[in-house]
Amino acid sequence: MTTHSLRWPGGPLAGTGLLPASKSEANRALLLQCLAGGGTLTNLSEANDTVLMARLLANAPTTDHLDAEDAGTVMRFMTAYLAATGWRGTLTGAARMKQRPIGTLVDALRTLGASIEYAEQEGYPPLRFGGQPLAAPAGQPAELAVRGDISSQYISALLMIGPMLPGGLRLRLTGEVGSRPYIKMTLKLMRHFGATATEVGRDVIEVAPGGYRPADYRVESDWSAASYWYALLALAPAGSSLLLPGLREKSWQGDHVIQIIMRPLGVETEFLADGSGASLTQVPPVPAPAGAPTTDFTDCPDLAQTVAVVTAALGRRRRFTGLHSLRIKETDRIAAIQNELRKFGADMPEVEPGLFEVQPGTFHVDGQTVETYDDHRMAMAFAPLAIRGPLLVHEPQVVRKSYPSFWRALTAVGLVVE
């Protein structure tokens, strides 16, 4: 077991937070580039998930066995892509991936004529593809109804293969739809690559047939990764500031709402006039309101860990809703957050069904060890606490999934990482 020791030498925080590119944008763009048959992608993410996605897409034509490892986006997107391209073989994943459900997506693809079987447990990877092309009817859109409250990645995966169907696709979303900004990101990227995709009302999306055309695209820096720098600045000594390159004011990423969430906690965002990034400065935090304000993370679940930690460290109570998808991530993130917050004197109990409350208690940082649960976001959400006191992080290499340079980026602004 490896461990990083983190500490802040003192004084204000200043410098540049070097961000990775968005893996959410990159993985969608890679798949669309393949379906379009060309186009140049720049500023691709260094994240393992993106490197893996590119490798699997490149290898699919010449192999009958692909491994999505622990990458949920890769597993879901590749499942739809392989079905649409009539691939024959087995798509597997890491042990945790074999515990993450995929039945909703497989059922939808079977409706479109895909030949997919479960190689082990019903409803879960590995998946065995029979090489049968999709048999959706020509002349009219294929009709699908898909639950929106499990994973938006299922919806994005189906949308992206929609233009390849003879009659296109008419997708109806049922139930509460989570992570809706990720669906909108998918639609914008599809249109960038020449597809026609129209939102008919709030929960019906129509995708016209006709495929894609090659297009160039530059991937934006990752707003999910930016959230950890917002956390650092919120906890840093007075007089601190940061520059975050590559962020757009008009972003397609749902996690850009971190700038709104963090403003009452003392972090102001100003976008540079030349469009090259954002400048973060400290401002007086808004006085803590009576009671506990509620934040809905349905559209930005990847921010929940970061905000929970910062809120507790600042001694504030906050209620969280929209966390249902966190149970089926790299780990059960709700249980993981609760376990680790308790080490610092805080907690996040479920006070009502689906409603969690951060309770700061007697929050303190004095050398505790953070477990990461094979989850990159656990490591990065708790790391900013080092600005308040010494901290240990077990299995720090988990950050390779989305932000391989995370620890180097922290040392570049003065954090001591040993």
Catalytic residues: 302
Q: Which residues pair with 4 in a beta bridge?
A: 393
Strand partners, 145: 172
* Short-list 209, 177, 175, 204, CA closest to 190: 209
**How far is Cα 105 from Cα 91, in angstroms, rounded to an integer?**
14
* Whether 320 contacts 357, CB under 8 Å: yes
Residues 6 or more apart whose Cβ sits within 8 Å of residue 135: 112, 113
CB 395, CB 372: distance < 8 Å: yes
Q: What residues contact residue 233 under an 8 Å CB cut-off, 6+ apart?
A: 13, 240, 241, 242, 266, 267, 280, 282
Spell 389-402 as b/e; 16+ CB within 10 A means b.
bebebbbbebbbbb
